[in-house]
Structure 1
Amino acid sequence: MQADKYPFAQELITDTEGNIRKVVIDFHDYLRLLEAIEDEGLILAMKTVEQEIPLNIDEALAQL
């Protein structure tokens, strides 16, 4: 496998059989990827509760 097939990879570290074991990427690219993963998690969480009725603070505390 070649690093040019992976958009963020600067270097691929393989085992003796040629299987990719590690990927070296720029730290800023890593932060961008991390932010994208967190954003996706937030979107998924928002979708799971979009049909719920909002509660005020007193109602929420009463349910606890």
Structure 2
Amino acid sequence: YVCETCGIRCRKPSMLKKHIRTHTDHRPYHCRHCKFSFKTKGNLTKHMKSKAHQKK
């Protein structure tokens, strides 16, 4: 599976789909508590664990 934009090779179609988001502004993962959106689920998870949303 090869990215048509930059030529990077991915082992799985899901990895290619995730990689392709680096070339776009598509941010499908939205924070429920603020206006931020993220390209990856992992980045949303990091955001949720940040000081911005820690429970007191």
Q: Report the TM range for the smaller structure's normalisation.
A: under 0.3
Structure having the larger proportion of residues in strand:
1
Larger radius of gyration: 1
TM-score norm. by structure 2 comes to: 0.28
Structure having the larger proportion of residues in helix:
1
TM-score norm. by structure 1 comes to: 0.25
